[in-house]
Amino acid sequence: MSSTQAASIRRVVADAVTEDSPDVLAVEEPLEIRLAIPGPGHRAISITMRTPGDDADLAAGFLFTEGIIKSPNQIKQIRYCGLGIADSGMRNSGGLSPDRKGNTIRVDLNTEFDIDLKRLERNFYTTSSCGVCGKSSIEALHTGAKKLEHLDQPTIDSDLIRLLPERLRASQDVFDQTGGLHASALFDAHGELEIVREDVGRHNALDKIIGAKFLADELPLNEKILLVSGRASFELVQKAVMAGIPIMIAVGAPSSLAVELAKEFGLTLAGFLRGDSFNVYTGKSRIV
């Protein structure tokens, strides 16, 4: 299952119509995430419109940032429904062989861990444009996040921040082909790019990053910098806080709720990163 799809277009420029030419589109398909719990059985948790790829990371990241699972040891296996057990390396790498792709993924849990079933009573229907659709209240979005410690660490230079968009852009392979994807990227405190993910849904791109780090047992990400290609929404801030990320930078604008949540949990939030300028909304002590 590819993340891009060929298309034929007719490009119109002013009053002239050119001949039909080939183009490439970003694929958008539904992914149903199912959770298999020993005893109660398995049930659908979420349906999200996503760009195929890194689906195991997406599922694990979503379940973690929603507060449903807390440790990778809770996961027995992740597999596509009806397509057999996933490759042995899937839990750590998020990968599947090409012939095992599907649109329903199942996360099987180990028997020795308890799950808060009340969290599963919420309606988790998400779309590529709005990751918080179906959630009943703002209070429910906190999902047990803890306030970040060490409000002055790590400290990064403002000149380094200005370099991050270019480093992200150089790694956006699918965006180069389609021009139609959001991206999230994780950098270390020295500005070295560690991981980047693209998706039609901005919240999916971040869940894929957090899921990959979660399955590798590398959380919390308390020395990392997160860069998102679009605006800073409330949900993206919530996911960053859940993963312990201290610094989040957005190319676009933050929402009022995003700023409120960042301030409440001690996250450094910057936005409008354009050229040589950006705005710091919260956590100013981490940026010099």
Please, are residues 122 and 136 in contact by the beta-carbon 8 Å criterion? yes
What 3-state class would DSSP assign to 113?
coil
CB atoms under 10 Å from CB of 181, counted, come to 25
Alpha-carbon torsion (124, 105, 71, 248), positive or negative: negative
- Cis peptide bond prior to 254, omega within 30° of 0: no
CA 255 – CA 202 distance, rounded (Å): 14
CA 95 – CA 101 distance, rounded (Å): 10
Buried-exposed string 244-282: b where 16+ CB fall within 10 A, e elsewhere: bbbbbbbbeebbebbbbbbeebbbbbbbbbeeeebebbb
Active site residue 133: no
Pick the catalytic residue: 81, 130, 253, 287? 130
Overall residue count recorded for the chain in this entry: 288
Q: Widest CA span of the chain, in angstroms? A: 67
Active site residues: 130
